[in-house]
Amino acid sequence: MIRDELHLKAPGNWMNDPNGFIFFRGKYHLFYQYFPYGPMWGTMHWGHAVSGDLVRWEHRDIALFPTKGYDRNGIFSGSALEKDGKLYLYYSAVRYLEEDAENIHYAPRDRYETSQAVLVSEDGMQFDNWEGKRQIIPVSREPEISDAVHTRDPKVWEEDGTYYMILGSTWKEKTGRAVFYRSVDGINWEYANQLRDSQFGRILECPDIFRVGEDYIFLGSPMYVGRNEPGYQHHAVCARAEFDKADCRLKLLTDCRYIDYGQDLYAVQTNVDEAGRRVMAAWMRMPEPVQAADRNPWIGMMCQPRVVELVDGHIFFRVHPNVENYFQRETEEREGLPQAACRIQAALSEGESLEIGGFRIWVENDAVWTDRSRVFAGLKGHKLVSATPKLSGRYGLDIYVTPNLIEVFVNQGEYVISSVVYGLGSGLQGRINKVYLHS
């Protein structure tokens, strides 16, 4: 059985969006978009991993796979809900209207349609893909309500006895929109409301809305919002929000900003952990597969779990306490690192820099900058230099390093820069305060 620590990685082949992230019957469950036949995007299944602490993960068998006419071409992203002691897995079901004869995993010209479905599991470990599924929201035939193709990624939650669903969608592929449904039993749903917003790009994916204290926070992944620079055109964003449960009216109170300024991070989903903290998982996009001794070539991983907090109106993404506790052994070693996973603490001043195996971090013009050009193995067409917004003179760094991912938490999660890397060397240079290894 394949196991991962710190970051859940594809168990071979392809991984993307986190799905069904939940604490259920004493275990964390994280499902994910999975193509089991090769390290490339294809007909989606749901992979499945479980953890007791959000740090050590054990991969299980494939949980969801196509069996119905409405989901024959993909089990797309969705969420999980505990109800009556059972695990309800909500997902977007895809059926192609046109097929490429040379590649059945691809729909030419986006000729497909999407509906919403649920699979109910009695114990969260066994999944009846033959009798346990049910289509709950058919393909939309009313464009003013939602789009027949691009309406997906149901996030479902219960509040005060009512069930709510937010879906990502589009209006004529010009403006992204969030679409809301409501239910009294989690099975029978009625349309409630929607929000179209230019900040949702042309298509909104993976929307999530939740309360932190008395405030609501919106997270989502709008498509086609990239700037005129190398890299991805689809990005994960956050904003403070208002949500009126009576009529499912969503209002953004602040402009959307990036969740992660490295911009490899996409497709976020949150969950409440066993201590009641709001925790986020997200997909780290990777341009090339990685060869590994313990699994087939793999591509795609998750970031480490991050606690979402609101402080003086600013959304923080902090290191989860379980990750901090994973690194307890302080070391004076510098030359051999970071070939093993490590945590590095530093506090830079304007003009100062440090280097981690060829990955450079520095402070310039009141922002923290990173440069991965020396550790990205010559890959072209991707963002290599990243920076935070201005920081008002505070530059505390908590840096988590593994062979294929570096996560830089600035000022205890005020901003984060995460960077996929491929050619990380050894050695640490610069004014580093402390280095910790797993004990």
Residues belonging to the active site: 17
| Cα distance between residue 296 and residue 336, in whole Å | 27
- For residue 4, the Cα-to-chain-centroid distance in whole angstroms is 17
What ranges make up the beta strands (E) of 138-187?
152-159, 162-171, 175-183
Taking alpha carbons only, the member of 312, 353, 330, 302 closest to residue 436 is 330
Contacts of 228 (CB under 8 A, 6+ apart): none
Is omega for the bond preceding 108 within 30 degrees of 0, making it cis? no
Q: Is 334 left (phi over 0), alpha (psi -120 to 50) or beta?
A: alpha
What ranges make up the beta strands (E) of 277-332?
278-284, 298-299, 301-302, 306-311, 314-319, 327-330
Q: Are 179 and 248 in contact (CB under 8 A)?
A: no
| Cα distance between residue 93 and residue 390, in whole Å | 42
Q: Are 127 and 121 in contact (CB under 8 A)?
A: yes
Q: Are 250 and 209 in contact (CB under 8 A)?
A: yes
Strand order in the sheet with 385-387: 385-387, 367-371, 359-364, 353-356, 428-430
Q: Are 405 and 301 in contact (CB under 8 A)?
A: yes
Taking alpha carbons only, the member of 145, 189, 144 closest to residue 165 is 189
Cα dihedral sign, 86-92-96-102 = negative
Radius of gyration of the chain (CA): 21
Taking alpha carbons only, the member of 374, 270, 390, 378 closest to residue 320 is 270
| Cα distance between residue 191 and residue 208, in whole Å | 17
User: How is residue 145 written in tokens?
Assistant: 């309500």
| Cα distance between residue 173 and residue 165, in whole Å | 21
User: How is residue 21 written in tokens?
Assistant: 């992230």
